[in-house]
A and B are shown apart, each in its own frame.
Chain A
Amino acid sequence: MALKNPYRPYLGTLVGIKDLATNIKLFQVELNDPQEREAFTYRPGQFAFVSAFGVGEAPFSITSSPSRSQVLEFAINRVGTVTSALHRMSEGDVVGIRGPFGNGFPLEEMEGKNIVILGGGIGGAPLRPIIHTVIDNRSKYGKLTILWAARNPSLLIFTDEFDEWRAAPDTELHLTVDRADETWTGNVGLITELLEKVAPSPENAVSITCGPPIMIKFTMLTLKKLGFAPEQMIMTLEAKMKCGIGKCGRCNLGDKFICTDGPVFNYAEVSEFLESF
């Protein structure tokens, strides 16, 4: 077929599979074709479809940072048929990659501002490349406040990076779990409670939230209470998707498609949507 086919995935090999948390693995994919590898440029906040051939494909946010990683990284939670098939794979297996899709985070507008990151569970996956970008270009951004949460300690992701994040200049990391286990000595409570305790200033700040829909909704309310304006509150959303290019009609919120107009939106935009996520 002469036309470039947006439904045709690139072939990639799993060069690394790491356990991140209970039922969550980090998949490292290297595209097989060197030209495709060269051409695959992406920004933090974009996503790609990963194919488990024989079952299907699903969209996952790209959790690697383009500046730090040569391979594409995806943090994948095992919940359904595609993710289960991926979890059954081993290093060396071939997967399909389609992308990158989506708008990504507005990094230029964030420069010079204080960044507040709020990650709930697997929602931390698209936020990790932002954290890396800020740390690697520290002088371009203001204070970095990271609130990282999970239902219990075994579901916290990227725990091996916490020390690096804490050690970065003008950076704070606050952790919380809904329910502790025997070894947990940190904060216990919802991320919204932690947010009220930490109370980051909305002055010259921008917040970026990702997590389950209910977490995003309550976090928005708390941020509003703390004085954040809707334009300052950024979120990244997810939906069931089948094409990633705005054709299959599935992921719309009103007249906006999460795959092409998003997945990154700010609260002011989302409040205008006819439908709620």
Chain B
Amino acid sequence: MKVSTKDDLMAWLDRLAERYTLIAPKDVEGHILYRPVAGSEEIAFDFTKAALSPKEHFLPSTQVILSIERKGEGIELKEPSLERERIIFGIRPCDAKALRVLDALFLEEPIDPYYAERREKTTLIGLACREMGDECFCTSLGGAPDDASDVDLMLTEVEGGYAVQVVTEKGKAIVGDLPLKEVEGSPPKPIVHEEKVPIPELDAWPQHFNDEYWARLADRCLSCRLCTYVCPTCRCFDVRDYPSSDDAIERLRAWDSCLAEGYRRIAGGYNPRPTKMQRLRNRFYCKFYYYPKDFGPVACVGCGRCIINCPVNIDIVEVLRDVATL
């Protein structure tokens, strides 16, 4: 394996930070979040999973999708663009897999140009996990804590530094000036959970749609949006115009959640999903039935953030186990 020392790695990242926007895990008041950093000394290395996935850098929580200006009698439209190429350092395999899941939707015709541009202009430097977290279940969904298939470069912590695996041409293009030493052996295997979570097959889901199980599960749901916002694969969004100055308007796209009561309510007042049960059930069906049926991949990567954060312990692993035995 090719190994880089930590010092060399840090120096290399500092050099990259001069040419690219470097986004890396950063300690923000005790929470690890992927934020732009000016240099490698700001990067946090000691963490299992960031509080929010890097999804926000591809589908931002709020972004301007059009600038609308009034020019005399007419209107001029402008489409904003990313200024600089970016590198996301320290992305975990589950979060990288989540981007593949979103690709299946956003890069399918008609292509979402804002997402596509961000994907194209970003190089992903993955960081393999040493061990799966308590709530993690990536291995049940075809992933792994050291899965390199969705990143451009994969780093694994080894004795004396980091093993560096070049995965794609994009990764190769930036790794040239990182000093690497050939060392005997391979990176250590991560510690994984023995037991896997049963993921019910596509055909298993429709028959349970009208089970009372969902109403009982939804009894305790608060209809907050936590799970959808921390989830690396959830993507529902809202679009609205806001004046940004006297003559200019911005069309904004922002995160929305299918769990919100008014999510489907039309202006006249009609709401096809008025109950908590219908909305909560929709989220599970969207992830494990609708999304894979329509776009291919299951819309869950087993990161466990929803499990960690749900205030009332609606545990997606428990739900999957229950559905498998319903």
Contact = CB atoms under 8 A, between A and B. Distances in A.
Direct contact, A vs B (beta carbon within 8 Å): yes
Contacts of B66: 7-8
Nearest to A260: B294
Interface in A232-277: 238-240, 242-243, 245-250, 252-255, 257, 274-277
Contact of B241 (A54, A243, A250): A54
A1 B68 CA distance: 16
- In this complex, the interface size class of chain B, counting residues with CB under 8 Å from chain A, is 35 or more
Interface string A65-104: 0000000000001011111000000001010100000000
B274 to A, nearest CB: 11
B31 interface: no
Contacts of B278: 275
Interface in B61-106: 65-66, 68, 70, 73-75, 77, 79, 81, 105-106
Interface string A216-246: 0000000000000000000000111011011
Interface in B276-319: 278, 282, 285-286, 289-290, 293-294
A6 B110 contact: yes
A55 B237 contact: no
Contact of B266 (A8, A240, A242): A240
A239 B272 contact: yes
A252 B77 contact: no
A80 B239 contact: no
B272 A53 contact: no
Contacts of A255: 289-290, 293-294
Interface in A153-183: none
Contact of B209 (A4, A9, A32, A274): A274
A7 to B, nearest CB: 5
Determine chain B's interface SS by DSSP, over half rule.
Answer: mixed
A213 B68 contact: no
A148 B235 CA distance: 40
B79 A5 contact: yes
Interface string B257-284: 0100001111110101100001000100
A53 B285 CA distance: 35
A56 interface: yes
B95 to A, nearest CB: 20
A212 interface: yes
Contact of B264 (A5, A245, A250, A254): A250
A190 interface: no
Interface stretch (B6-14, B19-27, B111-119): B111-119
- Please classify the interface of chain A as helix (H, G, I), strand (E, B), loop, or mixed, using the class held by over half of its residues: loop
B236 A243 contact: no
Interface string B227-239: 0000000011111
B113 A274 contact: no
A56 B290 contact: no
B9 to A, nearest CB: 34
A94 B111 contact: no
B270 A245 contact: no
Given A56-B240, A255-B293, A239 B266 contact: yes
25 contacts: A4-B110, A6-B112, A9-B77, A52-B241, A53-B70, A54-B68, A79-B266, A80-B266, A82-B267, A92-B73, A213-B272, A240-B266, A242-B239, A246-B105, A247-B112, A248-B237, A249-B236, A249-B237, A249-B258, A252-B282, A255-B289, A255-B294, A275-B272, A275-B273, A275-B278
Given A7-B65, A249-B236, A255-B290, 11 more contacts: A1-B113, A6-B111, A8-B79, A53-B75, A55-B241, A247-B112, A247-B235, A247-B237, A250-B258, A250-B264, A254-B285
